């Protein structure tokens, strides 16, 4: 079987730092990436698939990975939006719309879990597979001191809930898979840039720094069949 690493959402800033690290470490036989965008020239050694993340496409790609006998040792689901042409993080209840909440939840919550649904047969045959799903501290209900950002907070809180149920079911059906809901800290990227002006320099991380931290955490993460919710320091975050 081929030992592969899968990166979903490959055009993102943190995802690109993950791919660059994987390419420099040379630990995986192959690096498989899925993105809505085409492969950049700098990643010519990467197996790259384009997808719009509709369920049919997620199912088809997962089946392809199965037929290719792929055994993923690591999966990174990097998908997530805070703002785009349609939505901005809400400061007040008056800014909240059903369309915005549903748009953000569709991308941040439903899409990652559809991947976990369709990848199950592939992940089942790994000896050990660590799946990192990018969550966020603002998805913690207990940690919410400031309010606001209704759609984004709700999308990550709901993501964590779905991941918890997935971890319980994976514990029965794919015992060698470890799920990590990861908070990278405020990281310089298109997602954070419009909102990071007041973040002190030492609290605004580069994608490379965050990815180094994540890989260090993965080295010591126990394969205990539980969902972990950890920050970039490896510290647990309250649910």
Ligand X SMILES: NC(=O)c1ccc[n+]([C@@H]2O[C@H](COP(=O)([O-])OP(=O)(O)OC[C@H]3O[C@@H](n4cnc5c(N)ncnc54)[C@H](OP(=O)(O)O)[C@@H]3O)[C@@H](O)[C@H]2O)c1
Residue nearest to ligand X (CB): 80
- Quick one: 71 or 89, whose CB is closer to ligand X? 89
How far apart, in whole angstroms, are the C-alpha atoms of residue 41 and residue 43? 5
- Quick one: 35 or 166, whose CB is closer to ligand X? 35
Reduced to 3 DSSP states, what percent helix, strand and coil does the chain have, rounded to the nearest 5?
Answer: 45, 20, 35
Q: How many residues does the chain have?
A: 239
Give residues in contact with ligand X (CB under 6 A). Answer: 9-15, 35-37, 53, 78-81, 107, 111, 134, 136, 183-184, 186-187, 189-192
- Quick one: 173 or 203, whose CB is closer to ligand X? 203
Name the minimum Å distance from CB 48 to ligand X. 10
E strand intervals along 136-216: 177-183
∠ Cα 219 193 46 (to 5°): 45
Closest alpha carbon to 143 in 239, 34, 3: 239
Name the minimum Å distance from CB 125 to ligand X. 26
Name the minimum Å distance from CB 123 to ligand X. 20
Beta bridge pairs of residue 35? 50
Beta bridge pairs of residue 49? 34
Name the minimum Å distance from CB 223 to ligand X. 23
- Quick one: 128 or 141, whose CB is closer to ligand X? 141
């Amino acid at each position: 079987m081929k030992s592969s690493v899968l990166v979903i959402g490959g055009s993102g800033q943190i995802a690109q730092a993950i791919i660059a690290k994987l390419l420099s470490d040379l630990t995986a036989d192959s690096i498989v990436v899925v993105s809505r965008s085409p492969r950049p020239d700098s990643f010519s050694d990467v197996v790259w698939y384009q997808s719009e993340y509709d369920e049919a496409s997620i199912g088809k790609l997962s089946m392809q990975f199965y037929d290719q006998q792929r055994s993923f040792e690591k999966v990174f689901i990097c998908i997530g939006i805070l703002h785009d042409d349609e939505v901005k993080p809400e400061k007040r209840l008056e800014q909240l719309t059903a369309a915005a909440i549903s748009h953000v939840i569709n991308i941040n919550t439903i899409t990652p879990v559809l991947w976990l649904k369709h990848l199950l047969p592939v992940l089942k045959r790994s000896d050990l597979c660590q799946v990192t799903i990018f969550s966020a501290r603002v998805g913690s209900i207990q940690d919410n001191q400031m309010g606001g950002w209704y759609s984004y907070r709700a999308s990550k809180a709901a993501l964590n809930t779905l991941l918890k149920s997935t971890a319980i079911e994976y514990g029965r059906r794919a015992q060698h898979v470890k799920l990590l809901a990861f908070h990278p800290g405020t990281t310089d990227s298109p997602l954070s840039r419009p909102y990071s002006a007041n973040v002190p320099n030492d609290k605004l991380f580069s994608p490379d720094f965050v990815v180094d931290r994540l890989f260090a955490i993965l080295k010591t993460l126990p394969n205990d069949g539980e969902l972990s919710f950890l920050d970039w320091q490896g510290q647990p975050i309250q649910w």
